Amino acid sequence: MPSLQSAIERFASLGEVEGNPEARKVFLEFRDQLTQGKIRAAEKINGKWKVDIWVKQGILLGFRLGELSKMGDDGCLSFIDKDTFPARRFTVDDHVRVVPGGSSVRLGAYVAPGVICMPPMFINVGAYVDEGTMVDSHALVGSCAQIGKRVHLSAAAQIGGVLEPVNAAPVIIEDDVLVGGHCGVFEGTLVRARAVLGAGTILTRSTPLFDLVRGHVYKATADGPLEVPENAVVVPGSRAVQKGKGAGWNLSLYTPVIVKYRDEKTDRGIELEDWLR
Ligand SMILES: CC(C)(COP(=O)(O)OP(=O)(O)OC[C@H]1O[C@@H](n2cnc3c(N)ncnc32)[C@H](O)[C@@H]1OP(=O)(O)O)[C@@H](O)C(=O)NCCC(=O)NCCS
């Protein structure tokens, strides 16, 4: 999409775009392509995730161009937001089940057929949610987050976005991952296919991930995010504080731990009820 990309980059670099009709036209085309999943904030090419920074620039352009407006039906709750990011309207042809009860998906988010959205949940702009994924109650899919096929985002799982606080790379959750209840995955963390995050696991750029099986410690680097390997089963753990003036206080710090790699027992434990789909 080189011409759309260069137009977005040009408007993003301009000091003043507010009220510029050409910029709005370009943005609306961009948002339409995002909503259809034709462009993405990050894409896997030959096994490597490539982040397209211009997509985030396009989203920020939408916020700059947007004007506050009243949205939604005249029900008991009224909504005021930037007119560039209204809520998405689904049709039966989209084949996405949105169960009634306080959920919202912004335009500019791609949601594939077969996705189930349990209320309340929120999918932000630029997010890409692939086929067969379950977004359970109180789950958040942050801006530009890339969620693979058949992922289970369990109740209250929080997938951070790239807009606030500003991060360069989106969180990526690959195919067939289970994100357990109350997990938090933030700051560009990459969770490889079929990994399982046990309930309550928190992953950020600053959390080292201890692998008990391989005897390795995974960390984010200056150029790369924290990566959870394929099939890893991660649970919330703790490690003793060994340095600093308070080293003798018997404190421990939270740390995620890989306790095993996925096996039949794990699969049985997280099996999903097909009839609910
Ligand atoms: C991670 C999980 C899937 C268990 O996987 P499993 O493959 O069955 O794990 P196992 O029972 O073989 O446990 C392996 C080891 O990790 C420990 N462990 C397992 N789950 C743990 C957890 N959540 N926290 C801490 N330790 C845990 C076990 O005690 C065991 O250690 P041990 O061998 O020293 O006793 C499960 O704990 C979990 O969190 N499931 C998600 C629940 C959830 O959020 N569901 C939402 C649906 S809405």
The pLDDT value recorded for residue 166 is 66
The ligand 1 site (C-beta within 6 Å) comprises 136, 154-155, 180-181, 196, 198-199, 233, 235-236, 259-260, 265-266, 269-270
Q: What distance in Å separates the CA atoms of residue 9 and residue 212, rounded to the nearest whole number?
A: 45
- Report the distance separating Cα 37 and Cα 223, nearest Å: 27
CA of residue 266 to ligand 1 center, whole Å:
8
Amino acid 1: pLDDT: 62
- The pLDDT, as a whole number, for residue 272 is 72
Q: What is the pLDDT of residue 93?
A: 96
Give the mean pLDDT per block of 10 residues along the chain (277 residues): 90 92 97 97 95 95 95 77 94 95 94 96 97 97 97 98 80 98 97 98 97 98 94 97 93 97 93 69
pLDDT of residue 273: 66
pLDDT reported for residue 277: 67
Cα–Cα distance, 177 to 224 (Å, whole number): 20
What pLDDT score does 269 carry? 86
pLDDT given at position 133:
97
pTM: 0.91
Q: Are 145 and 120 in contact (CB under 8 A)?
A: no
- pLDDT value at position 165? 67
DSSP annotation of 86: P
Q: Identify the helix (H) or strand (E) that includes residue 196.
A: strand 196-197
**Distance in Å, CA 155 to ligand 1 centroid:** 16
Residue 147 in 3-state DSSP? strand
